[in-house]
Amino acid sequence: MVFALSVALAYVLTNIDGLFAFLALSSSGRRKQVLSGFMVAHVAVIGGSFLVGAGATFISPELLGYLGIVPIGLGLWEIWKTNRHSALDQTEAPSANSVIGASSIFLALSTDTFVLLAAIFADSRQEMDHFAVLGAVLAVAGLLVLGTALSNGLARNKNIGRFFERLSPFVMIAAGIYILLDTTTDVF
């Protein structure tokens, strides 16, 4: 269960940008499209990352730990990008007039989560996969509840958004280090 909670925490923290996009888009009055798009995107992220992680069983177990390099690289890339300009200033460009538009926005913001979750599935023993799925589902449910509850007031506070935007890359780096280390959930 601790593994599921750690996956949920990593999932939530790598989706803070998606949460703030959810808040901004849902406060524009298109709550049904945004809610549906959020769900479609995260079902695709969880399902796709499970398939990619399961496909990694064909890779030599000695090489699986090196998948941690990907989230570390993405975290470093996000730190560099954040130092150049704020991603929250750019979230107003896409349109969420439809479920497909909202899904596209959330999928674009969830690439780091996809890579992180796929690496967790690939690096963990098969009997731990259901805990990873449970953690991801708990995270999505928590993000939905939090996003729905806060959509009116919090979307306007850009300082909180910037804090979590800066925190997210460090979560990616920590998750990558976790994957690189030989842990009790590894296939080794």
- Which residues, 6 or more positions from 5, have their beta carbon under 8 angstroms from its beta carbon? 135, 138
SS3 string, 141-187, reads HHHHHHHHHHCCCHHHCHHHHHHHHHHHHHHHHHHHHHHHCCCCCEC
Q: Mean pLDDT over residues 58-86, rounded?
A: 69
Q: Is residue 35 part of a domain?
A: yes
Q: What is the pLDDT of the chain when averaged over all its residues? A: 75
Residue 44, pLDDT > 90, answer yes
Q: Is residue 186 part of a domain?
A: no
Give me the torsion for CA of 170, 179, 20, 48, rounded to 10°: 160
Q: Is residue 187 part of a domain?
A: no
Task: Indicate the SS3 state at residue 98.
Answer: coil
pLDDT tens for residues 132-142? 889 999 999 99
DSSP 28-81: TT-HHHHHHHHHHHHHHHHHHHHHHHHHGGGS-HHHHGGGGHHHHHHHHHHHHH
Range from 42-51, 114-123, 125-134, 162-171 that averages highest in pLDDT: 42-51
Structure tokens at 46: 């969880």
Q: Is residue 104 part of a domain?
A: yes
Q: Is residue 111 part of a domain?
A: yes
Task: Indicate the SS3 state at residue 27.
Answer: coil
Residue 92: the pLDDT is 46
Q: Is residue 94 part of a domain?
A: yes
Q: Is residue 185 part of a domain?
A: no
pLDDT tens for residues 91-103? 444 455 578 877 7
Residue 116: the pLDDT is 83
Our count of domains for the chain comes to 1
Select the more confidently predicted residue: 93 or 34: 34
Q: Which domain holds residue 168?
A: 2-180
Q: Is residue 63 part of a domain?
A: yes
Structure tokens at 136: 């991801």
Residue 37, pLDDT > 80, answer yes
Residue 49, pLDDT > 70, answer yes
Select the more confidently predicted residue: 11 or 78: 11
Q: Mean pLDDT over residues 80-107, rounded?
A: 64
pTM for this model (two decimals): 0.66
